[in-house]
Amino acid sequence: MLSDHPHRRYNPLADEWVLVSPHRNRRPWQGQVETPTVETLPHYDPECYLCPGNMRAGGVCNPDYSATYVFDNDFAALLPDIPNQVVAENELLQSRSERGICRVVCFSPRHDLSLAHLEPAAIRNVIDTWAAQVEDLHARPYINYVQIFENRGAMMGASNPHPHGQIWATESLPVLVAREQTAQAAYYARHGRTLLSDYLATELANGERLVYTNAHFVALVPFWAVWPFETLIISRRPLPLLTQLVAAERDGLAELLKRLTSGYNNLFQAPFPYSMGFHQQPGDGAAHPEWHLHIHFYPPLLRSATVRKFMVGFEMLSEPQRDITPEQAAERLREVM
């Protein structure tokens, strides 16, 4: 079988290829071993700059919030009020100003409750907050894209253990989103259906890479996955924007996020690091029937809670590569759901 030997798989969403080397996972490991994460967090940490009532690093005091809490990032990567400038010395040396807004979303006042530990009703509140933020930021005349994401765990660069995510609203369409825009638009022009609706139908018929499903969303390991236990969440209804989810769909997404993040923790019996993010249509005011709402989960762990996948060498210089097949990863994740 092809899955038993080195082969390449095509990612139509990003128009790129990934090398799969299933035999390579048997190699001995004498490389870096991570220190296992042990989370014994208190309900409230007086030293945490995200807990209710505490002073943030930027000198602002948090209110005594009781649900989700959103604030403008004190150390934002993007700023709203900067001169609009374009500098082009020649076609090889070009730069331009980039306005934007960066916000932090604290999922809960509790310092110790990640998405995996929140009840679905509390996760639904987070989803409603995300949607409200998208609506607010799309109303800004210079914002063309809203990126919702979470870096979970110190391994993924989280600077604070208090469960939180971020929202970066950008003036330009980011590179990876633009790549998905191009691929989805071309597919829709050819078929009159979204790329992900056809892909989802294929995966539901196959079943081999499914991880968890409910009436409104499907979580699966994509055929072209790069990270070992990468998952893709796709809405069953091909809507382009988070704000268009109706109440039942938001409940379904909350239930799936609870199941998936809990399953990740169960896989190696340890808090599971990941980067998660929504991909949705641009906020340029145009209709985008080609866009299909989806969420990427990129976790780095490979063999255990202490051995992770490194994207170096060939991956950085040539193309993405993975060691276990997506089918093997999906089977393992299904077992812990």
Cβ-contact 228, 302 below 8 angstroms: yes
The share of the chain scoring above pLDDT 90, in percent, equals: 86
Question: Would you call 23 a catalytic residue per the annotation?
Answer: no
Asked if CATH classification 3.30.70.141 holds for the domain at 29-335, the reply, yes or no, is no
Tell me the domain boundaries of the chain: 29-335
Judged against a pLDDT cut of 50, whether residue 233 lies above it is answered with yes
Residues 6+ apart with CB under 8 A from 247: none
Please write the tens of the pLDDT for every residue from 168-216: 999 999 999 999 999 999 999 999 999 999 999 999 999 999 999 999 9
| Cβ atoms 100, 124 nearer than 8 A | no
Predicted model pTM? 0.94
Give every CB contact of residue 151 below 8 A, 6+ residues apart in sequence. Answer: 157, 158, 165, 166, 275
Number of H helices, E strands in the chain: 6, 16
**What proportion of the chain, given as a percentage, has pLDDT over 70?**
95
Q: Give per-residue pLDDT as tens, 292-306.
A: 999 999 999 988 888
DSSP 79: B
Given 111, 164, 279, 292, the catalytic residue:
164
* Burial (0-12, 13-18, 19+ Cβ within 10 Å), 26: exposed
Q: What is the pLDDT confidence band of residue 159, given thresholds at 50, 70 and 90? A: confident
Residue 265 has pLDDT above 60, yes or no: yes
Residue 33 pLDDT greater than 70, yes or no: no
Does position 1 have pLDDT exceeding 70, yes or no? Answer: no
Q: What is the CA radius of gyration of the chain?
A: 20
- Catalogue the E-assigned strands of the chain: 7-11, 16-20, 69-72, 86-90, 93-96, 100-106, 145-152, 164-170, 210-213, 217-220, 231-235, 274-279, 294-298, 301-304, 307-308, 321-322
Taking only the tens place, the pLDDT of each residue in 71-121 is 999 999 999 999 989 999 999 999 999 999 999 999 999 999 999 999 999
Mean pLDDT (the chain, rounded)? 94
Cβ count near 102 (within 10 Å): 19
Q: Residue 30: pLDDT above 50?
A: no
